[in-house]
Amino acid sequence: MNEHAPHNRELFTPGHLGCPGCGATLGMRQVLSALGEDTILVMPAGCWSTLIGIYPYSCLTVPVVSVAFASTAAVASGIKAGLSVQGNDHTSVVAWAGDGGTFDIGLQALSGAAERNNDILFICYDNEAYMNTGVQRSSATPAGAWTSTTPDSALKDQRKKNIVEILAAHGIPYAATVNIGAPEDLECKLKKAKDIRGPRFIHLFAPCPTGWGYASELTVEIARLAVKSRVFPLFEVFDGQTWQLSPMTDKIGVDAYLKYQRRFRRMSAEQCAHFQMQVDEDWRRLLDRCQAKSSLAHT
């Protein structure tokens, strides 16, 4: 399956400050391996803005611009425009933001860049809460999850915002979900995204042992269970119109995914059933969209 030669130069060097088992660091390594060194990263506040290392150290060997929380997509668009007027249309300008910096405070700037058709690749590494500040709820936190602002006395009631549908509704040329537990699929989609011009969005599932409450060696397993259970299905959307499922194994129940994570341990049987219902509903809607456009599917 892994027919691609490994990247001849490792762009992610030792010394990151992430927690053991951090899904977001695996994601960065896989993403940089796919994109290569002609890449500029733009990062808002978030886990990655600290785990890159303390100045003057950095674990990354590509340029990194650390920006204000709400400004990621706008700074990235500005960098792209600045490069472009100087004749550089080849460098990938990549916004790399957490779920807070994408679903919440970064959404307006992201929507603006998407509407303006700015040539940036926006990657959201989604660990489903404000992990860097101590696991506060974001609009990417799933219903029923414990966070430090949705404590046991008041678990989150609201479902997770569907960020890919929002971006797809802008009609951007490419949007896709990727998962650190499916690195070949991730590499394939990132390489595809790299070669498309215009705004591209990648939703990267990045489990967090610290915030989700599971043993650090289970990160990849939990990422895979999220795909198998359809909590985080893998798919692509072209031009906001053509939806295409990625290869996935048979569907399993969400219990297998929920049971490893302490954040879900206070969920009632009723909340678990509701969680399953929501996943089933989203999955059916996704299948409908993919089937409706199957005749137009891209390769």
Partner 1 sequence: MKKVMTGNEAAGIAAKLARVQVVSAYPITPQTTIVENLSDMIGRKELRARYMPMESEHSAMAGVIGASLAGARAFTATSSHGLVYMHEMLHYAAGARVPVVMVNCNRALSPPWNLYCDHTDSLAQRDTGWCQYYCADAQEVLDAILIAYSVAEQALLPVMINMDAFYLTHTSELVDVPNQEAVDTFLPPYTPSNKVDVDDPKTFGNVCGADLFASIKYRRHWHTLLLEKLWDSTAIKFADHFNRLHPTVEAYRTEDADVCVVGIGTAGGAMRLAVDRLRKEGLNAGSLRLAMMRPFPRVRFEKAISTVRHLIVIDRDVSFGAEGILAQEMKAFLFDRHADVKFTGFIAGVGGKDISAETTAGLVRQALFGNGTAVEAGTSFWTDVLL
Site residues (CB under 8 A) for partner 1?
Answer: 37-40, 42, 49-50, 52-56, 58, 60-68, 70-71, 73-86, 91, 108-109, 111-112, 115-116, 118
Closer Cβ to partner 1, 52 or 225, answer by number: 52
Residue 277, token pair as written in the block: 């219902």
Closer Cβ to partner 1, 95 or 254, answer by number: 95
Report in angstroms how near the CB of residue 26 gets to partner 1 at its nearest: 21
Residue 79, token pair as written in the block: 């960098």
Report in angstroms how near the CB of residue 24 gets to partner 1 at its nearest: 16
Closer Cβ to partner 1, 86 or 153, answer by number: 86
Is 179 in contact with 185 (CB distance < 8 Å)?
yes
Q: What is the CA radius of gyration of the chain?
A: 18
Strands 92-98 and 174-179: unpaired
Report in angstroms how near the CB of residue 45 gets to partner 1 at its nearest: 10
Which residues sit opposite 130 in a β-bridge?
Answer: 136
Closer Cβ to partner 1, 42 or 186, answer by number: 42
Report in angstroms how near the CB of residue 184 gets to partner 1 at its nearest: 26
Report in angstroms how near the CB of residue 34 gets to partner 1 at its nearest: 16
Place of tokens 């695996």: 26
SS3 of 6, please? coil
- Would you call the peptide bond into 173 cis, given omega within 30 degrees of 0 as the criterion? no
Closer Cβ to partner 1, 37 or 239, answer by number: 37
Q: Tell me the residue ranges of DSSP E strands in 131-194.
A: 174-179
